[in-house]
Every structure is written in structure tokens, then in C-alpha cells.
């Protein structure tokens, strides 16, 4: 069973994403901040990290760079609820720093599962 780490400061988003992924057979871990996400990565073997772009303290792009430096084999999928400048940033960084894709919130179960499966397959 593959483990997915969800790093998002919104509790409902973490819960909903966890529910969708667990229904598809994934094991899920969740973190409410960048620091908590790093701690979870240190303690677990993670197949893919879903990282919200907007986090308190350190933003998702900064976190993706840190995760990639420490765990270069773990793919990262960025999640964003804002379309404008964040989307441009994601496109510029996609393929770099372990970022294997992105997904816009709100997303469907099919979009989420596709993004996770694609990230793991690369």
C-alpha cells in the first residue's frame, strides 16, 4: 500500500483528500504546516507528497525545494486554490525540485487519483 502525505493548512481539505485517497487504497498521512510535513517525511516512507502552495510560514514552493533536497526520490504534487500568480509559479517549477504535477482546488476524485498515479509512475 502506497503512502501519500497531504500537507495543507485547511482541515477540511486534508480530511476530504484523505477520504478520497483511502477509498482508492492509499494510506494517508496529513500535516497542517510545512514543519509538520517535514517531520512526517522524516518518520515515514512516503510515495508522494501533496503540498498546498499557500501554507503558514513557509510556502509550498519553498517546502517542495526542501523536500526534494532531503528526499529526492519522493515526487511532489502541488495543490492550489488560487489561479493567477500561483498557477504561473507552478508551471515554471513543474519538472524541477521533484514537482511532478499540480492540481487545482477544488478537484474531483478522478483528478486527484490521476495526479497521484502520474506522480508515482514517473
Instruction: Please report, for the chain, the start and end positions of each structural domain, with discontinuous segments joined by +.
Output: 3-121
Q: Report the pLDDT value the prediction gives residue 94, as an integer from 0 to 100.
A: 58
Q: Report the pLDDT value the prediction gives residue 73, as an integer from 0 to 100.
A: 94
Q: Report the pLDDT value the prediction gives residue 84, as an integer from 0 to 100.
A: 46
Report, as ranges of residue numbers, the positions in the chain whose pLDDT lies below 70: 82-97
Strand partners, 21: none
Distances (CA, A) of 49 to 56, 84, 108, 112: 17, 23, 18, 12
Q: What does the alpha-carbon distance between residue 2 and residue 10 come to, in Å, rounded to a whole number?
A: 23
Q: Report the pLDDT value the prediction gives residue 90, as an integer from 0 to 100.
A: 54
Are 4 and 29 in contact, with CB atoms under 8 Å apart? yes
The string of pLDDT tens digits covering residues 57-80 is: 888 888 999 999 999 999 999 998
Q: What's the CATH architecture for 3-121?
A: 3-Layer(aba) Sandwich (3.40)
Amino acid at each position: 500500500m502506497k503512502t501519500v502525505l497531504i500537507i495543507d493548512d485547511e482541515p477540511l481539505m486534508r480530511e476530504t483528500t484523505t477520504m478520497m485517497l483511502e477509498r482508492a487504497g492509499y494510506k494517508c498521512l496529513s500535516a497542517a504546516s510545512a514543519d509538520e510535513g517535514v517531520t512526517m517525511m522524516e518518520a515515514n516512507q512516503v510515495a508522494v507528497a501533496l503540498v498546498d502552495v499557500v501554507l503558514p510560514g513557509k510556502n509550498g514552493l519553498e517546502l517542495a525545494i526542501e523536500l526534494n533536497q532531503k528526499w529526492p526520490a519522493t515526487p511532489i504534487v502541488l495543490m492550489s486554490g488560487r489561479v493567477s500568480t500561483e498557477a504561473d509559479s507552478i508551471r515554471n517549477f513543474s519538472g524541477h525540485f521533484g514537482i511532478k504535477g499540480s492540481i487545482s482546488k477544488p478537484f474531483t476524485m478522478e483528478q486527484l487519483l490521476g495526479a497521484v498515479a502520474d506522480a508515482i509512475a514517473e
